[in-house]
Amino acid sequence: MSKLWGGRFAKSTDIMVEEFTSSISFDNRLYKEDIAGSIAHAKMLAKCDIIASDEAELIINGLKGIQTDIEAGNFTFEIGLEDIHMNIEKRLTERIGPVGGKLHTARSRNDQVALDTHMYVKRELVKIGELLADLEQAILETAQKNKDVIMPGYTHLQRAQPILFAHHMLAYFFMLIRDFGRLKGVWERADIMPLGAGALAGTTFPIDRHFVAQELNFGAVYDNSLDAVSDRDYILEFMSFASILMMHLSRLSEEFILWSSAEFQFIELDDAHCTGSSIMPQKKNPDVSELVRGKTGRVYGNLMALLTVAKGLPLAYNKDLQEDKEGLFDTIDTVKFSLSIYAAMLRGIKVNSSRMLNTLRHDFSNATDMADYLVKQGLPFRQAHEVVGKSVRYCIEQGKTLTDMSIDEFKTFSPLFSDDILEAITIETCVAARNSYGGTSSEQVELAIGRGKTELSNQHSALDTYRKNIL
Ligand code: ARG
């Protein structure tokens, strides 16, 4: 295979080296960005009188033809041509003749690949933002549909205080809201245009970088050419955003796995979202949740891999940087799949409200409320804690719960108890009483849902703006 850079070489490339250095097997994903970037570059070259406008027209039509060929499956990517950039440029010259060779004026593959990847990340961010917003919507719907369901709240996976199931779901909703905030940060740094940095130092031609930025809907242009070609921060930020998002989905997965077990029986996952066992006929396994939990590991791995690749690199471009792409693409695919499948799964879950409530009828999740009752009668909290602790021990010995005690039994622990204590520690009272801002009472959960809807609609407006600025 004759190389675009073959002039300096007397020997042809070792076939193993060709295979090892080639990135076309994965960077062919960037074809659309590569072609759009080249079209903008060609327009700019003509506008700045670096090439003639009829030459630019030939180049642009040639590039459009190549895009049609690729999309029709009529383009063979060659390993010998290393990457997407040289595969397209070589074909361009084959199609339109030597004028195709003018396209690479005032440009290097170093700024070209950076441009393509920036554009690709922007495009994928919009899709991921849409999927994220849809999952948030699915969580809101689940919370609203089950707004009266009470469940045990946990710390240390030991029952702690009763909460609304909706409140528990909303905790995930607000995590995802923060994820969206991080996505906006990634967008800002992806939205900087690197082309025109050349190989590393800029170019001798009178180019117009801001024109290219405008053509391709970039909000900013890199200020430093060395930084432009060697910056992978926006990919690392994307991977960090993705890692934290996956961590959230993984925590939710862990809960779904526990909750759908025979031990908990808090939820039932739809048959469509579970799989069976090849040997045990009774099994219905929460594979989706397990895989999301498992795939979180590879998303972290991709982040660690690129952080490690980047840490020792001298400025500016080094071939090591080609290692950014497989992890990036894999992270994008994993996050998109996980978000879509979770939204679907969530919309199909059945919530077993009577089971959740029943568990609370046989435990001491109302103990804090009993202590709070005494505090409201004037007892210092520490002493109230002690009184209730003793009552709990007594009940455990007697094989009963706090509400099984008679008023006389309550009074043996403190004279401050009166008849209204039983009402003060029903499960429903415990939930309704936690009416502090952000708490679990129905009133607070309603308010939180309202705030959530506002956040969600702000996200949709941000996505509308982003959509106007992608390919
Ligand atoms: N395929 C390369 C990459 O992904 C493109 C840039 C190559 N530049 C170079 N000087 N070898 O990083």
Quickly list DSSP for 438-456. T-SSHHHHHHHHHHHHHHH
CATH number of 49's domain: 1.10.275.10
Alpha helices in 72-164 (DSSP H): 84-96, 109-145
* Whether the CB of 322 sits within 6 Å of ligand 1: yes
Tell me the two tokens of residue 65.
């033809």
Q: Is the CB of 115 under 6 A from ligand 1?
A: no
Are residue 188 and residue 279 in the same domain, yes or no? yes
Task: Confirm or reject: Cβ of 83 under 6 Å from ligand 1.
Answer: yes
Q: What is the rounded distance in angstroms from the CA atom of residue 263 to the CA atom of residue 114?
A: 52
DSSP letter string, 344-411: HHHHT-EE-HHHHHHHHHTS-TTHHHHHHHHHHTT--HHHHHHHHHHHHHHHHHHT--GGGS-HHHHH
Is residue 287 pLDDT above 80, yes or no?
A: yes
**Number of independent structural domains in the chain:** 3
**Residue whose CB lies within 8 A of the most ligand 1 atoms, among 13, 86, 113, for a mutation test:** 113
Q: Using a 6 Å cutoff on CB, does residue 5 contact ligand 1? A: no
Could you tell me the distance, in angstroms and rounded to a whole number, from the CA of residue 296 to the centre of ligand 1?
Answer: 29
Kindly report the protein residue whose alpha carbon is nearest to atom 1 of ligand 1: 83
Distance 345 CA to ligand 1 centre (A): 41
Ligand 1 contact via 319 beta carbon (within 6 Å): yes
Distance from the alpha carbon of residue 451 to the mean position of ligand 1, in angstroms: 46
Q: Is residue 433 part of a domain?
A: no
pLDDT at position 23 is 98
Please write the tens of the pLDDT for every residue from 28-75: 999 999 999 999 999 999 999 999 999 999 999 999 999 999 999 999
* Same-domain status, 77 and 94: yes
Pair 117, 14 in one domain: no
* Residue 183 near residue 128, CB atoms below 8 Å: yes
71 and 122 in contact (C-beta within 8 Å)? no
pTM of the prediction? 0.96
> How do residues 380-418 score in pLDDT, each as one tens digit?
999 999 999 999 999 999 999 999 999 999 999 999 999
pLDDT at 1 over 90: no
| Residues recognised as catalytic | 156, 277
Residue 264 corresponds to which amino acid?
F
CA atoms within 13 A on the CB side of 462: 24
The Cα 236–Cα 276 span in angstroms is 38
Q: Is residue 457 part of a domain?
A: no
Please give the residue range of the domain that contains residue 387: 367-425
